[in-house]
Chain A
């Protein structure tokens, strides 16, 4: 997973803000969303992200995985991330 090249991400006091500079859409996410973005930025793949956050948080592991997958799907459909460089818009 990679960020699309027109994406800029900033952690602010009120949350992590994602700028799609191509469409000028702006998204905001919470602390856990920000951590997922940070892990993607570090080059972690989905299993690694699920593992890291699954061990960091108290919750049903299956639910955590489901939520993370759903979140990354939302990032993909919003054109914030793509699977590989070739997929970039």
Chain B
């Protein structure tokens, strides 16, 4: 693999790609409920996936019976544009298995909304990479869970490491901002240093990782997946060194908090974002089971208002505190319930 030296100007185009201490410094005089509409939409566009990853937060792998139609999806996009929401990320399942993914991408980009696609990369050939390049996406994030096929494929059941690598190569060749995300587990955590080096050699501009979230299939497989404290200590030590080593060349970004820390923070300061799942329902946040709206029945604007109130709902607050006290309850994250129902 050839060494690709990133243009520093290109790297500096983008600000911090994820949450960190800066989250704590919320804009003076504003909080999430000061916003008339969300700043960011995270959209799980489908539940279908060709893989059966052991750590999948969404427990993806099969379509839901009531997923949004193309018409419903494009109506949702229209509302995003009308509300002037500036940022969006689409994931799944595997979003490239969604039959109307490019219709959605084109609409979003025609409305100058910044768009990131999160994918396993296995359906990105030259043609798709070129198409992504033409859309001028903010970035494409490819999941790469190992510097070796063995580590990657042990975790990403039915996955093909080589295809993910080739996807990155195609994307970089076509000038698409390519990010790599790495989920640490017992199987692969020792490869973190090599994985970062590999990402740089492929020309990725960003490498992201953090503590694995104990939700979805990860929660179900926690005993076999969760790295030890010692393993995490070494992991973050490597990350610190690599961040410094790649300063100005590639963003090495890691989220140092686990999902429980995130929940504690979000209870005080919910994000100005909405998480939409494949059937059009809207969750408060990934680790919690609460649904605050349904795009098939309500406007996005109405759902945003629901979202703001939902974080104050006693049932939500109480359940969140229970989860914080007992992280095993994170296994409930995909047992969705309306926010008004009793916990």
Contacts and interface: CB of A to CB of B under 8 A. Distances in A.
The answer to whether A and B touch directly, with their CB atoms under 8 angstroms apart, is yes
Interface of A: 5-15, 19, 21-25, 28
B112 A6 contact: yes
Contacts of A15: 29
Contact of B14 (A7, A10, A13, A23): A23
B114 A13 contact: no
Interface of B: 13-15, 27, 29-30, 34-37, 84, 86-87, 112-114, 138
A12 B34 contact: yes
A10 B86 CA distance: 10
Contacts, number: 47
B86 to A, nearest CB: 4
A18 B338 CA distance: 34
B114 A9 contact: no
Nearest to B113: A21
B114 A21 contact: yes
B14 A19 contact: no
B112 A21 contact: yes
Contacts of A9: 84
Given A13-B30, A19-B86, A24 B36 contact: no
Contacts of B15: 23-25
A22 B136 CA distance: 10
Nearest to A9: B84
A25 B13 CA distance: 9
Nearest to A25: B15
Contacts of B36: 10-13
Contacts of A11: 36
